Structure 1
Amino acid sequence: MKYDPLEHVATHFLRDAQPARVASRNERDLLRLIWKSPGIERSDLTEPLDLTQQSLHRIVARLHERGMIVFSHAEARRAGPPSPELTLRKDWCLTLGIAVNVGSIGLCLMGFGEPLENMEIPQAGDLLSVELERIEAAVEDILARRGAKRRDILGVGLAVAGHRMLETAFNCPLPLAHWSLIDLAPLLGKQLALPVWADNVARTAALAEAIFGVGRDAADFAYIAHLHGYGGGLVSGGMPFRGSFGNAGEFSVLFAREDYDDRPALNQLLEHLRAKGRPGLTLNDLKNEELMGWDGVEEWVDRVMPAHNRAINAICAIFDPALIVLGGELPHSLARMLIERTEFNNLPRHGAVRDVPQLAVAEIIDAPGAIGAALIPLFETVL
């Protein structure tokens, strides 16, 4: 039987109407407007929502009764009766994001649309059952720090490094083989007794960048995730574009097997630097901004630039975004070097060249996959 996380949402989050759901379409549109414009006056919501004043007042009153929004008094700025300012009540719900990467598992605890706390535990071993138990212990730890309970969690977003296969199964890199080709959402959902939505970690990182990072001012952008592997995500209209099979943005597909070693994947940089005399180096060590002075880094950049340029120009040709973000676990200094050396295929025609996207370094550098994953339950239920 197909796993549906909505069937596992706690009843105290559901509205008193059928079908059972957290919010109606009109309620979700209203909540998202308030989330994007905290303090917006109720009277300013009528036009963008295309609702009558009577309908709007009824929906706002219902959400206020449920404790989802907070009223505050607006300063008198116009003629007529005052209209209350509306904000989301941040403690109405919690969501949890869990991002499984090679070497680390990141967690993000989020209030009603606002990140509260991040933590990271090592990813190690080859038994999925053990890693699920360690995740559960970490969840209890992060909740205890906030004085919260598991019943306060609306839902969990699980982000996994790997190609999406069927439902919530992923084909992961070799160090995550024990996470591969298994329907993960029902397993984690049973472990935590919570509803779980799952996606690729590069796409959840792109979502975090779209909402909280440099992508918040760009409706359409591409995110390149430099992780153990080399993937990414596409954001269209402010939301992730997943494609028919859930794998839009898998930039590694641009490269044949014989080209894999020349991709700008961080595991390739690790192998290169280990061969240069740093045998104990880990992915976490690459976050050191001093690595630009390490022997072998510039040599590696020279080697991967053709692959980097191929990916950039393929994105331009197929997606035509206004912005391309270099993110994942890529150090900012290394990202800037790649940007400075980028070459666009942009031959002039009739003396004119076409517009090309801006290249930018990701702003969300701490647990981007987990932050984006924590947003998924909200976008699936209330926003």
Structure 2
Amino acid sequence: MKYDPLDYIAPHFLRGSQPPRVASRNERDLLRLIWKSPGIERSDLSEPLDLTQQSLHRIIARLHDRGMVAFTSSDARRPGPPSPKLSLCKDWCLTLGISVNVGSIGLCLMGFGEPLEKMEVPQVGSSLSSEMDRIEAGIANLLARRGAKRQDILGVGLAVSGHHMPDTAFNCPVPLAHWSLIDLAPLLGKQLGLPVWVDNVARTAALAEAIFGVGREVANFAYISHLHGYGGGLISGGMPFRGNFRNAGEFSVLFGHQDYGDRPALGLLIEHLRMKSRPNLTLRDLKSEDVSTWDGVQEWIERVAPAHNLAINAICAVFDPALIVLGGELPPSLAKMLIERTEINNLPRHGVLRDEPRLAVAEVLDAPGAIGAALIPLFETIL
């Protein structure tokens, strides 16, 4: 039987209806409005939700009784009875985000839409069971920091580097071969005793940027994820666009075998710089440094600029976003160098140029894939 994480949500999170669910459609619309505008007054919710005052008050009272929404007194001076301010109770539920990248596994503990704790555990060797054990130990560490228990967790988002395959399997880069072609959600779900949703790590990083980063400003943007490999995610209407096979944003598909070595993939940069007197260089070293003046970096930028521009122009032609974000584990110094080398094909017609997207450096730099993964259980059940 196909794995469905909704079947494994703890009963104390459910609203007691059939079929079992955490929140109704109206409740989810309401909770998302409160989440995006904490402190909003109850009287300001009727119009955007198109609910009668009676229905609105009833839904809010039910959410308050469940401990999901908190009331505070309004300081507004207006005619009529006072309307309380509403905010989410951050401790009503926790979610976990796990991002599996080459060299590192990021963990994020989130409290009802607000990141609380982050940590990283090493991704080494080729044993899936040992890496899952390290993930479980890291989760125990995060929970201990907050004085929380596993039953406080609504669900887990698992983000994996690689092409999405049927069910919850991925086809990962060679260093992550032991994560490949395995139905991961039921396997990790059984180990943790929690419901697990899966997605591509570049897409969850894009989601983190949409909620907490520069993507807050726009509804439609593309996120280029520079990791060991080269991929990305598309945000449409503020939410991830996955495509028919859940692989929208796999920008490496733009390049044939003969061009694959010239992509702006950080694994290739590492190889290049190791030959330039940095034999022990890792992705972590790149991320924590201003590498713009390093020997070999300018040479690499020149080498990958054509591939970078091909990807930028393909995104413009197919998706037409307002914004293109350069992120993943790309150091901001390198992102700025690539932005400076960007050439968008924009020939004037009748003396007029078409509108172009803005290019920006990602703002969510620490564990973006894990942060976005921790949001998935919320968007699938509550928000």
Q: Same fold (TM over 0.5)?
A: yes
- Aligned amino acid, residue 78 of structure 1: R
Aligned residue number for residue 28 of structure 1: 28
User: How many positions carry a matched residue from both structures?
Assistant: 383
Aligned residue number for residue 337 of structure 2: 337
Aligned residue number for residue 217 of structure 1: 217
**Structure 2: how far apart are the matches of 1:198 and 1:142?**
20
**CA offset at residue 290 of structure 1?**
2.8
**Structure 2: how far apart are the matches of 1:357 and 1:76?**
40
Aligned residue number for residue 227 of structure 1: 227
The 5-angstrom pairing of residues 219-298 of structure 1 reads 219-298=219-298
Q: Is 2:361 aligned against 1:361?
A: yes
- Once the two structures are aligned, what percentage of the paired residues are identical? 79
Aligned residue number for residue 86 of structure 1: 86
- Aligned amino acid, residue 184 of structure 1: L
**CA offset at residue 217 of structure 1?**
1.0
**Structure 1: how far apart are the matches of 2:187 and 2:370?**
18
Aligned residue number for residue 118 of structure 1: 118
Indicate if the aligned counterparts of 1:223 and 1:234 stay in contact, CA closer than 8 A.
Answer: yes
**Structure 2: how far apart are the matches of 1:278 and 1:341?**
25
Aligned residue number for residue 62 of structure 1: 62
**Runs of 4+ in structure 1 over 4 Å off:** none
- Aligned amino acid, residue 171 of structure 1: N
Aligned residue number for residue 306 of structure 1: 306
Note the residue ranges of structure 2 that are not aligned, 5 or more in a row. Answer: none
**Structure 2: how far apart are the matches of 1:373 and 1:308?**
26
Indicate if the aligned counterparts of 2:290 and 2:331 stay in contact, CA closer than 8 A.
Answer: no
Aligned residue number for residue 4 of structure 2: 4
Indicate if the aligned counterparts of 1:162 and 1:172 stay in contact, CA closer than 8 A.
Answer: yes
Indicate if the aligned counterparts of 1:100 and 1:159 stay in contact, CA closer than 8 A.
Answer: yes
Cα offsets for 1:277-299 (capped at 9, x unmatched):
21111111111333212110000
What is the SS of the residue equivalent to 1:293? coil
Aligned residue number for residue 183 of structure 2: 183
What is the SS of the residue equivalent to 2:32? helix
Aligned residue number for residue 101 of structure 1: 101
Cα offsets for 1:310-343 (capped at 9, x unmatched):
0000000000000000000000010001001100
What is the SS of the residue equivalent to 2:310? helix
What is the SS of the residue equivalent to 1:63? helix
**Structure 2: how far apart are the matches of 1:318 and 1:188?**
36
What is the SS of the residue equivalent to 1:284? helix
**Structure 2: how far apart are the matches of 1:288 and 1:153?**
32
**Structure 1: how far apart are the matches of 2:223 and 2:290?**
24
Cα offsets for 1:136-187 (capped at 9, x unmatched):
1111011001100000000000000000001110000000000000010000
**Structure 1: how far apart are the matches of 2:230 and 2:192?**
30
Indicate if the aligned counterparts of 2:201 and 2:369 stay in contact, CA closer than 8 A.
Answer: yes
Aligned residue number for residue 162 of structure 1: 162
- Aligned amino acid, residue 339 of structure 1: I
Indicate if the aligned counterparts of 1:207 and 1:239 stay in contact, CA closer than 8 A.
Answer: yes
What is the SS of the residue equivalent to 1:312? helix
- Aligned amino acid, residue 172 of structure 1: C
Q: Is 2:345 aligned against 1:328?
A: no
Q: Is 2:77 aligned against 1:77?
A: yes
**CA offset at residue 76 of structure 1?**
3.5
Indicate if the aligned counterparts of 1:289 and 1:332 stay in contact, CA closer than 8 A.
Answer: no
**CA offset at residue 77 of structure 1?**
2.3
Q: TM-score, normalised by structure 1?
A: 0.99
Indicate if the aligned counterparts of 2:72 and 2:86 stay in contact, CA closer than 8 A.
Answer: yes
Indicate if the aligned counterparts of 1:205 and 1:370 stay in contact, CA closer than 8 A.
Answer: yes
Aligned residue number for residue 129 of structure 1: 129
Indicate if the aligned counterparts of 2:46 and 2:53 stay in contact, CA closer than 8 A.
Answer: yes
Q: TM-score, normalised by structure 2?
A: 0.99
**Structure 1: how far apart are the matches of 2:346 and 2:47?**
43
- Aligned amino acid, residue 240 of structure 1: P
- Aligned amino acid, residue 344 of structure 2: F
**Structure 1: how far apart are the matches of 2:294 and 2:243?**
39
- Aligned amino acid, residue 77 of structure 2: R
Note the residue ranges of structure 1 that are not aligned, 5 or more in a row. Answer: none
Cα offsets for 1:258-312 (capped at 9, x unmatched):
1010000000101111111211111111113332121100000000000000000
Indicate if the aligned counterparts of 1:222 and 1:234 stay in contact, CA closer than 8 A.
Answer: yes
Aligned residue number for residue 204 of structure 1: 204
